[in-house]
Amino acid sequence: MKTIVIDAGHGGYDYGAVSGGRYEKDDNLRLARLVAENLRAAGERVIMTRNSDTFVPLLERSAISNNAGADLFVSLHRNASENAAASGIETYVYPAAGQTTRMYAEIVNDSMAAVGALPDRGIKEGNFSVLRNTRAPAMLIELGFLTNQHDNAVFDENIEQYAAAISNGILRALNEEPGPGPSPNPAVIKEIQTTLNSRYGAGLAVDGVFGARTKSAVVRGLQTELNRIYGARLVVDGVFGPKTKAAIRPVSRGARGNIVYLLQAALYAAGYHIAVDGIFGAETEAAVRDYQAKHGLVVDGVAGANTFESLLK
């Protein structure tokens, strides 16, 4: 078990970057909470320098890390530029940082770059207080530009993927076991998107990122199949509401077909690296059981209304 400090940049009267009514401090905290949650789920000791909208002085952030004898300090920010077209991710280290810190930063930055939704601006050097005054290896991540509306849309749609990329990168850097968070293979997601497009006319960008639009397309596919197979007469709107839930027929071991395919796609996006082939075998059943156990559902290995709802709502 390692001690990792997750530092949500800014807070309180320090808004950080501002764009319209959007404040960097809020985005940083949302992301920090998800990263911390993933790391804790992987069994690590996590200290957040703030977990609410409060002002924490820069020196205090480093002191929290130094007093805890942390193994790693990760500060989370969003970028800003006068150039509204500036876009992408980058990770800063202190100019005098050693080899270990640089290697850690590269591993985490590469992991974020692999999400593939934003350009990779690479590793940079910055004389920031939190990098200068923290004894543990320290990095400062800028996850997209708050001053770029495209970056903001990507941030909102893929925040869980980026949080998983950051936490899994941290775990890899520290030689810890990867956590249960989602770390999908973009090639598999692309195949799912292509199938949703050809089977249901989903019109998705085949970008390898399972975001809100892809999830909604899975729900539309499910509604289409429930109408086609069971005459459910659902409105095909991509929203998993009570009518869709009521129309679900449980699927279990031995089932095959398009509904199993959609279930597997949702499980894959939830972090289960199973074959997405429309055949409900032992592997799919194990994934369903594990998912049910982790989400407070009845653990029976049968994907019924509650399991579909939890995956797709």
Residues noted as catalytic: 142
The span of 1-9, 164-172, 254-262, 278-286 binding Zn ion (CB under 5 A) equals 1-9
170: left (phi over 0), alpha (psi -120 to 50) or beta: alpha
Structure tokens at 286: 């194990």
Confirm or reject binding of residue 208 to Zn ion (CB under 5 A): no
Q: Which is nearer to Zn ion, 20 or 231 (CB)?
A: 20
User: Which one among 11, 16, 137, 221 touches Zn ion, defined by CB under 5 A?
Assistant: 16
Name, in order, each residue with C-beta under 8 angstroms of 94's C-beta and a sequence gap of 6 or more: 101, 125, 126, 127, 128, 131, 132, 138
Pick the stretch among 12-20, 36-44, 90-98, 219-227 that binds Zn ion (CB under 5 A): 12-20
d(CA 115, CA 263) in angstroms, rounded, equals 22
Q: Least distance from C-beta 142 to Zn ion, angstroms?
A: 7
Q: Which strand (E) or helix (H) includes residue 40?
A: helix 24-41
> Which of these segments, 6-14, 59-67, 156-164, 246-254, binds Zn ion (CB under 5 A)?
6-14
If the CB atoms of residues 76 and 189 are measured against Zn ion, the closer one turns out to be 76
Size of interface with Zn ion, in residues (CB under 5 A): 3
**Residue 137 touching Zn ion (CB under 5 A):** no
Q: Toward Zn ion, which CB reaches closer, 9 or 181?
A: 9
How many angstroms separate the CA atoms of 165 and 34, rounded?
11
- In sequence order, what are the residues at sequence separation of 6 or more whose Cβ sits closer than 8 angstroms to the Cβ of residue 70? 3, 4, 5, 47, 134, 136
Rank residues 131 and 266 by Cβ distance to Zn ion and give the closer one.
Answer: 131
Among positions 4, 9, 144, 248, the unique one binding Zn ion when judged by CB under 5 A:
9
C-alpha span between 16 and 80 (Å, rounded): 9
- State how far the Cα of 64 lies from the Cα of 135, in Å rounded to an integer: 11
Q: Does 77 bind Zn ion (CB under 5 A)?
A: yes
Q: Which residues of the shown chain bind Zn ion in the complex (CB under 5 A)?
A: 9, 16, 77
